[in-house]
């Protein structure tokens, strides 16, 4: 069964890894696809599916900035050889922190596979920042409004930059938000979340502002990870803003005046209870007017 499912994904190349599984670059029906292979955490499928569905122009709130979910399967069995070869190539080139799949896969082992649209290069490794924070914030506001969504782990590795022919003032890039392992959402009276309270390792880090954010979330929700606390999204957007604004390569990519404008705006995030409050802030509205006006590629206004 596992070989039959994997056979529709061609030319695998390992992209990266996480605590819960592996991610491969493949093609599916001729479309560049990121295939995530994980050990049966069903909640990730539900969250990915609901966020992917947020791209609905007819809805009151919609956004295209969450990765599109193309195909999901539950499979059983051993890893196919071509995916093991891709895993080994990644390990040799980069070093893997995960066990080789042969160490835990068996004829009876269940996996979830999620084929998702390719999202681009993560912000941690993207070389020229054109600063898409405004659009990322809008995406989270949409998810907050429709799904009571909290990402809860939006570090620079979970925001992808994709080169595109977009006609926004975005320097031709689009940001996608990924990896909802720690996320929380509600729909029609059902809440999906992961209780992080006993994950002491998550709260013990001290090498980066990222680890302060985990502790700030815990203090804000008082250890209640079931409850909806959209302030956590404010914390993560502030983290991303500080990462990008203060990186040397970002300083070269945007003007000094724009950097001052952005720094001033994003510093307000820690005062807000949800991201929607940012859009009622006069200074942020001014930034939107200057940096997010839609133009056609020719530079002429569309009527």
Active-site positions read 153
The token duo for 138 is 């809008």
CB burial class (10 A; 0-12, 13-18, 19+) of residue 60? exposed
The residue among 228, 230, 241 whose CA lies nearest residue 268 is 241
112 forms bridges with which residues in the sheet? Answer: 38, 74
Can you tell me the distance from the alpha carbon of 144 to that of 150, in angstroms, rounded to the nearest whole number?
A: 7
Tell me if 264 is assigned to a ligand binding site. no
Give phi and psi for 302, each to the nearest 5: -85, 140
The angle at the Cα of 197, spanning 191 to 201, to the nearest 5 degrees, equals 130
Report CA dihedral (54, 57, 59, 63) to the nearest 10 degrees.
Answer: 40
Please give the annotated binding residues for ATP, written as ranges: 36
Please give the annotated binding residues, written as ranges: 36
């Amino acid at each position: 069964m596992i070989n039959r499912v994997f056979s529709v994904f061609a030319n695998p190349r390992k992209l990266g890894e996480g605590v819960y599984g592996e991610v491969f670059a493949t093609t599916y029906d001729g479309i560049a696809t990121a295939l995530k292979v994980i050990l049966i955490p069903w909640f990730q499928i539900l969250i990915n599916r609901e966020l992917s569905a947020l791209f609905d122009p007819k809805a009151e709130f919609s956004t295209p900035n969450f990765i599109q979910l193309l195909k999901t399967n539950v499979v059983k069995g051993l890893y196919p050889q071509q995916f093991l070869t891709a895993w080994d190539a990644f390990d040799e080139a980069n070093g893997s922190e995960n066990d080789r799949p042969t160490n835990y896969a068996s004829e009876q082992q269940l996996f979830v596979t999620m084929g998702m649209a390719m999202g681009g290069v993560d912000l941690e490794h993207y070389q020229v920042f054109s600063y898409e924070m405004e659009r990322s914030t809008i995406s989270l506001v949409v998810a907050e409004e429709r799904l009571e969504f909290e990402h809860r782990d939006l570090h620079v590795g979970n925001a992808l930059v994709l080169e595109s022919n977009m006609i926004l003032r975005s320097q031709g890039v689009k940001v996608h938000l990924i990896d909802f392992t720690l996320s929380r959402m509600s729909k029609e009276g059902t809440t999906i979340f992961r209780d992080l309270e006993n994950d002491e390792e998550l709260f013990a880090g001290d090498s980066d502002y990222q680890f302060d954010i985990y502790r700030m979330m815990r203090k804000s929700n008082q250890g209640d990870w079931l409850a909806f606390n959209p302030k956590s999204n404010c914390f993560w957007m502030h983290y991303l803003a500080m990462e990008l604004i203060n990186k040397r390569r970002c300083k070269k990519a945007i003007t000094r005046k724009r950097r001052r404008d952005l720094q001033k705006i994003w510093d307000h995030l820690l005062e807000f209870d949800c991201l929607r409050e940012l859009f009622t802030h006069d200074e942020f509205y001014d930034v939107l007017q200057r940096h997010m006006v839609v133009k056609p590629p020719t530079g002429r206004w569309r009527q």
